Amino acid sequence: MTTEALLRAARRSLFAATALALAGGMALPAMAQSPAPNGPASVADLAEGLLGAVVNISTSQTVKGTEGPGAVPMPQLPEGSPFQDFFDDFFKDRGGERGGGGSQKVQSLGSGFVIDAAQGFVVTNNHVIADADDIEVNFSDGVTLKAELVGTDTKTDIAVLKVDPAGHKLTAVKFGDSNRMRIGDWVMAIGNPFGLGGTVTVGIISARNRDINSGPYDDFIQTDAAINRGNSGGPLFNMNGEVIGINTAIISPSGGSIGIGFSIPSQLAVSVVDQLREFGETRRGWLGVRIQPVTDDIAESLGMKNAKGALIAGIIKGGPVDNGSIQAGDVVTKFDGKEIDDMRDLPRIVAESPVGKAVDVVIVRKGVEQTVKVTLGRLEDGEKLASGEVGGGAEGGSEETGNDGEQDKAVATASVLGMTIGEMNDEMRGKFGIAADVSGVVITEVAKDSAAAERGVQAGEVITEIAQESVATPKDVMDRIGALKEQGRKNALLMLASKSGELRFVTIRMD
């Protein structure tokens, strides 16, 4: 028998033995089967105890004419059409073009949850009840109660409602600590998607600290628990039955859940809800500064090892730090004991701090770390002050040239870093519309494809500082750039003022 024939016979014998073992129920060592898994633990008990605290929010609003989403415009018919009378009657008082100011009721649905059973306080999203004429809260047992609006906060999209619990026993839930939640932790959402009340979905925390550009304090929890239209304002629970988020937004091209939902973390929501309950409005802390990110180039220019913190780009006149305690060009790295890793951390942490509180602020000023004491103002008052304040603050300009005046006049214009710069005078102010309280060196032209153009520098802006040193003449600018090159610096940090005085920092390559 040949070698090939022997191999074929061996294969047939092995196949026959395997078939016999399977037919006889014999377990082959290499094919041992493991017990079937039971799947994840049931959340039925948890959901059962929470469903009574989650409510449906129903609102109605009266809109006129074509303002409502249900308004239908009058079709454009040919002259003398036999259907003219029919359409005139149909669209009469329906908000169409010939309706003559007709109105209609627009209704919407959302979710919410009870946080105080005794007093009847309910939390939801502001956008769920915005501009509503009537608000009703529908409970899982079929009871419907009229609700009054206690207060809203558009910055975080939170609203607090109140119902009269007399004669109706409410179930409440508590807030948990969202800071303790980790990516991968299980969460449960309960709400009213597409009007289907009492819907329970389960998923995990997919990400944290998401900024979706919806407001100044974005710090969302991202989850893959199914969240759809109508879930807005509903709770996101941890596995202890505590609310660690308020469901508020989704990303979806189709309008349905694709597993990307966002919840306001309880850490941010609790203080807002407490203020709305107590005052009917928010009372946030306020520092009175304008800020921008600390990039790698800016960190290098400031002599910082790491790009972290919030760079102070301007001081609001009349604000809490308009006394020189914090200056433009400072970098805030810690506020009231909390690390400021990114620029957007500072507004949120300051806003969460009590009005009038004296706090320690750690700053880096000209490469040296120091701590200053600041007493916070109130953001709501500061917004009114800031809206009427044009300039960038006392730190933006320069009162001294640092050089002999006659010597400065010897250089009226200069070219540096792709910019043509000139002295500030009445002619320049008129040409570029520069405000009277803005001082420094005017940028009259920016070369295309230059390093300055790449950073968005434009003609009409004013250089007020270079490397945190004030400049008032073109010679000051040339001297500062020359000094930086001698020090081996690769970038120059410029503080620029807009025509109206708004300040910002840019770094420009000097190679």
Q: Which residues are catalytic?
A: 127, 157, 232
3-state secondary structure 192-208: CHHHCCCEEEEEEEEEE
Q: DSSP secondary-structure letter at 464?
A: E
Q: DSSP secondary-structure letter at 78?
A: P
Nearest to 147 by CA among 139, 167, 281: 139
Q: 295, exposed or middle or buried, with CB in 10 Å at 0-12, 13-18, 19+? A: middle
Q: DSSP secondary-structure letter at 175?
A: B
Q: 123, exposed or middle or buried, with CB in 10 Å at 0-12, 13-18, 19+? A: buried
Residue entry with tokens 């295309």:
448
Distance CA 282, CA 69 (A): 31
Distance CA 350, CA 312 (A): 14
The three-point CA angle 166-167-172 to 5° equals 70
Phi first, then psi, for residue 18 (nearest 5°) are: -65, -45
Residue entry with tokens 């070698």:
3
225 neighbors 200 (Cβ within 8 angstroms): no
Strand (E) or helix (H) holding 265: strand 261-265
Distances (CA, A) of 62 to 56, 93, 133, 136, 356: 20, 13, 7, 15, 42
Q: b or e along 389-401 (b: 16 or more beta carbons within 10 Å of the residue's beta carbon)? A: bebbbebbbbeee
284 neighbors 355 (Cβ within 8 angstroms): yes
Distance CA 227, CA 256 (A): 8
Distance CA 386, CA 319 (A): 9
Alpha helices (H) in 24-117, listed in sequence order:
44-50, 84-91
Full DSSP string of 275-323: HHHHHSS---EE--EEEEE--HHHHHHTT-SS--SEEEEEE-TTSTTTT
Token couple for 449: 């494809």
In the chain, the amino acid numbered 338 is: K
